[in-house]
């Protein structure tokens, strides 16, 4: 799929095509929530500080910072100075035209600006407010500053990631922020459904540490019941075997045969069917107890083969397995291409740019990328402020001169 900025925006088949979202957040959690809603068809209006804009415009790796092109797609940019009363009043007028408000400021900031939920819901009872923060809007830590990495540490993620003999590691992406945004998006969708029944809006309180905690599987109940504390285990998940990245002649390959029937298939694929019934490996618990020995046994086998040879055997025996992909591998893979998992967007700053598509895929009302990320702060001031608030060119020019927009 390729889109251009010179043509009218493509038709919007998304399920949220009648929903307007006002995004006040910066950097990652709030804006990623806005991206998810925008991909599903919502009209997302992003409010940025005048001149400087969202710091995310300059984030990313490589010589050119292109991460903005993903997280700000399907959004219109307006500028407003929320630190002055005139900017706060302007945004409050915009909120009156929104179904959903997203913010990820430090708790208390919106209240300080006169934009707290009590004020907004009194004026617009059907408004849905998604709030993302480090520790949530209540509790003894609520007024502390919090970024994704802090939530990952408090929620249990960081402690269990990495090698056992080294300090806790992090993932190569900001998983705490994106998890929180995803839960915030889920909350918005649930609140929209509830509003259909009652006509009432509500507040979604998504905390970074709780979003991480939600995916920690049995970490808490295991400790509560048996005193077991999960530790760092490198590339494996302790007790789940075989499930690891194994070395081949020409690289690394992931095999996940951590089920009794799958293990027997893998033993056959290895040309050693007797291992399938070996009491050291025949059951889930036995494989977990002998995990290191089993991994070495499999590594001894994969080292004699190329990735293509192991891959062919895994397909033949229907064993979950796959290559460890980097970006160039994704772009070359026919499955990515067949499902249009990676699309090409005609961006305003960089021209054609490949990026991930909208997920998940809906059969009747699919998500889409209908407009590229706005290249300028306040790019849609005239359009949005004129369309929703009836402000003309002279009024906007005066506001710009006063530092309001």
- Point out the catalytic residue in the list 39, 43, 54, 177: 177
Is pLDDT at 236 greater than 90 in this prediction? no
| Model pLDDT for residues 203-230, shown as the tens digit of each residue | 999 999 999 999 999 999 999 999 999 9
- Looking at residue 300, its pLDDT comes to 97
- Closest C-alpha to 244, from 301, 283, 316, 166: 301
pLDDT band (50, 70, 90) for residue 7: very low
- Residue 42 C-alpha from the chain's centroid: 17
**What is the average per-residue pLDDT within 233-239?**
88
| Model pLDDT for residues 49-91, shown as the tens digit of each residue | 999 999 999 999 999 999 999 999 999 999 999 999 999 999 9
pLDDT band (50, 70, 90) for residue 5: very low
Respond yes or no: is residue 308 known to be catalytic: no
- Looking at residue 38, its pLDDT comes to 98
Q: Which domains does the chain have, with CATH numbers?
A: 20-215+335-401 (3.40.50.10540), 243-329 (3.30.1540.10)
- Closest C-alpha to 81, from 45, 113, 114, 49: 49
- Looking at residue 46, its pLDDT comes to 98
CA distance 153 to 157: 6
Give the number of other CB atoms < 10 A from CB of residue 163: 12
| Model pLDDT for residues 378-391, shown as the tens digit of each residue | 999 999 999 999 99
Please give the full DSSP string across 307-348, using - where no structure is assigned: HHHHHHHHHHTT--EEE---HHHHHH-HHHHHTT-EEEEEET
Query: What contacts 297, CB < 8 A, 6 or more positions away?
Result: 275
Task: Compute φ and ψ for 45, nearest 5 degrees.
Answer: -105, 115
Under 8 Å between Cβ of 48 and 78: yes
pTM, entire model: 0.92
CA distance 240 to 259: 9
- Looking at residue 8, its pLDDT comes to 52
243-248 and 251-256 strand pairing: antiparallel
């Amino acid at each position: 799929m390729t889109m251009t900025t010179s043509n009218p925006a493509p038709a919007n088949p998304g399920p949220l095509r009648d929903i307007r979202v006002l995004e006040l957040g910066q950097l990652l959690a709030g804006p990623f929530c806005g991206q998810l809603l925008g991909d599903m068809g919502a009209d997302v209006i992003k409010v940025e500080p005048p001149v400087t804009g969202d710091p995310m415009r300059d984030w990313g790796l490589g010589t050119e910072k292109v991460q903005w092109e993903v997280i700000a797609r399907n959004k219109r940019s307006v500028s407003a100075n929320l630190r002055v009363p005139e900017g706060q009043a302007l945004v409050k007028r915009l909120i009156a035209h929104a179904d959903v408000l997203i913010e990820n400021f430090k708790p208390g900031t919106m209240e300080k600006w006169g934009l707290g939920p009590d004020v907004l819901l009194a004026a617009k009872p059907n408004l849905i407010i998604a709030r993302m923060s480090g520790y949530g809007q209540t509790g003894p830590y609520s007024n502390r500053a919090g970024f994704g990495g802090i939530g990952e540490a408090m929620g249990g993620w960081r402690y269990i990631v990495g090698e056992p003999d080294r300090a806790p590691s992090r993932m190569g992406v900001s998983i705490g922020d994106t998890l929180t945004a995803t839960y915030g998006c889920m909350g918005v969708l649930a609140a929209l459904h509830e509003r259909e029944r009652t006509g009432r809006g509500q507040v979604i309180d998504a905390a970074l540490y709780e979003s991480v905690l939600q995916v920690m599987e049995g970490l808490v109940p295991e400790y509560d019941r048996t005193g077991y504390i999960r530790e760092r285990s490198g590339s494996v998940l302790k007790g789940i075997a075989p499930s690891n990245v194994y070395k081949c002649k020409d690289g690394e390959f992931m095999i996940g045969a951590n089920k009794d029937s799958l293990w027997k298939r893998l033993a056959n694929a290895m040309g050693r069917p007797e291992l399938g019934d070996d009491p050291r490996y025949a059951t889930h618990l036995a494989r977990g107890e002998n995990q290191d020995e089993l991994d070495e046994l499999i590594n001894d086998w994969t080292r004699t083969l190329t990735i293509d040879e192991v891959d062919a055997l895994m397909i033949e025996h229907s064993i979950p397995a796959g290559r460890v992909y980097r970006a160039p591998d994704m772009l070359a893979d026919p499955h990515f291409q067949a499902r249009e998992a990676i699309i090409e967007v005609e961006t305003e700053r960089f021209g054609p740019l490949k990026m991930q598509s909208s997920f998940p895929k809906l059969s009747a009302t699919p998500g889409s990328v209908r407009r590229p990320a706005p290249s300028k702060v306040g790019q849609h001031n005239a359009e949005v402020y004129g369309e929703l608030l009836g402000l003309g060119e002279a009024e906007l020019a005066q506001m710009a001169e006063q530092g309001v927009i």
